[in-house]
Chains A and B, each alone.
Chain A
Amino acid sequence: MTNGTGGASASEPTGFLYPFIDAEESNLAALMTDLVASARSKIEDSASLRVATLTRCAEHVEVAASAMADRFRRGGRLFTFGNGGSATDAQGTAELFGLPPYGRALPAISLVEDQAVLTALSNDVGFELVFSRQIIALAKANDIAVGFSTSGDSPNMLRAFDEAARRGLLTVGLCGYEGSGMAVSDAVGHCLVVHSDSVHRIQETQDALMFALWEAVQRHLNETAVVRSA
């Protein structure tokens, strides 16, 4: 009998009577070791993907943030949307812009917030129109639409971007993989693509991109304020 974790019972005279217990013990220790190793390797993957993506997208983030700041200056508001985990990214983004930890609060709302609206539209006109119909109802030309999708191919996202672009909104998309519908759509003015095929790593990196965008927007708005007061 082998016991890789050095348990004492294998060497005891009665150990052969309880091989099951011995195996369970060493398996648990081995499982915990595996879990820790797996976690560490993914933590490193996550960190390096975020750093690499933000470094690669630095200029694009700067351009998009400058355009967003320009819209906010002209009284524009931010609408965010996404499905599933990306819906919570959309909510988190609205929270970040609207109730910032520091800096100035900006007008932002997520289109996944109201269950009555979501279910009414899904039930009556279909889930594909669940965001585009809200954009038709709410948006004005100076506004901003930010959409999250890991696949970049969700029909309701593509419809929302089409509608937003048609109405003159500034459109910013965050998606994963490569060559997705959002990445090639003319309706997505600024598309930040995370090159990964892991939904989890894509979402983590999209959060990082969004935070970088938000910080850059805050900086641009502050720079304007300084010029004005000078």
Chain B
Amino acid sequence: MAIVDDGRLAVDASTVPAEDLAAAALSLARRFGAGGTMWCVAPRWPSHARHVAVEFVHPVIVGKRALPAAFVHAATAVSAVRELARPGDVLLVVSTADDPSLDALLTRADAWGLTSVWLGAGRRGAAAEPLPRADHMVWLETGDAAVAARSGDLVMLYHLLWELTHVVFEHPGLLTEDADTSTDCADDVCITCSDEGRVAEVRALLDDGRVEVLAGGHAEQVDGRLVGDLRPGDLVLVHAGVAVTTLRGSDD
């Protein structure tokens, strides 16, 4: 059979980022433990987003607790998740790297105060632009995203995410972030120790060039005169109370 003989079936186990999966599961369990809900979006493969949601809401293993997760249509995901999600919730995206709707969603997750989890497959280099940032990226690097998406690799990824999340629940002492004493920076530069800007979404235009934005899930007022011509829904980078530049993903 072609798919077996030519080695396309089942990605090499050593290439699956099990560490990233484990880290994502720890975050998920902590968000659920704190009352968070997971919003599931899959632009190219809606059935995968539905499958993730049903996996968490109605576990296949009797006795495992039901966790709040819901499918969201990709076409209306920006406005739907903006209204539905609360700071501390989770945005889970299942997608290839070149999907045009990724920026709009993943970048906003920061502004909305959501933890973002991106499960993907294919070639990361397929994206025309630098990849949007996600708090957790669990990536299957394969030559053919369609094969990974349809022959069990991608579904395996979120089956494992579900299972590991429930393993974390068996360790209630580790469910709070306080259990960590680490102060690792996710990126090379972090907000607390540098002058890095924060991602914000414009909510309303006020008088005197001031703008109300949402950053980290909280509303605040910033000076919008430097960038000008802002509209509600635009994404900006905010530094020291000033919107310093607009970001990709704004045109929605």
Contact = CB atoms under 8 A, between A and B. Distances in A.
**A and B co-occur in one complex:** yes
Contacts of B10: 46-47, 50-51, 208
Interface in A143-164: 150
B230 interface: no
A63 interface: no
Best-buried of A89, A101, A208, A215 by chain B (most CB within 10 Å):
A208
Contacts of A204: 152-153, 155-156, 159
A208 B3 contact: yes
A43 B18 CA distance: 9
A171 interface: no
Contacts of A87: 50, 54
Contact of B2 (A24, A36, A215): A215
B160 A42 contact: yes
Nearest to A94: B47
Contacts of B147: 211
A32 B22 contact: yes
A28 interface: yes
B60 interface: yes
Interface string B138-171: 0000001111001111011001100110011001
Given A39-B18, A207-B151, A32 B26 contact: yes
A43 B4 CA distance: 17
B189 interface: no
A54 B47 contact: no
Interface residues of A, number: 52
Interface residues of B, number: 49
B226 interface: no
Contact of B160 (A25, A43, A203): A43
A199 B125 CA distance: 34
A38 B164 contact: yes
Interface on chain B toward A: helix, strand, loop, or mixed SS? helix
Contact of B152 (A32, A50, A55, A102): A50
B60 A85 contact: yes
A73 interface: no
B130 interface: no
A55 B4 contact: yes
A132 B25 CA distance: 39
B140 to A, nearest CB: 10
Contacts of A62: 1
Contact of A200 (B2, B163, B180): B163
B54 A95 contact: no
Nearest to A43: B13
A96 interface: yes
B83 interface: no
A39 B21 contact: yes
A51 B153 CA distance: 12
B9 A54 contact: yes
Interface in B164-198: 164, 167-168, 171, 173-174, 179-181
B216 interface: no
A35 B173 CA distance: 16
Contacts of B25: 35
Contact of B45 (A95, A200, A203): A95
Interface string A190-230: 00000000011001111110111011100100000000000
Contacts of B18: 35-36, 39-40, 43
Best-buried of A31, A51, A62, A216 by chain B (most CB within 10 Å):
A31
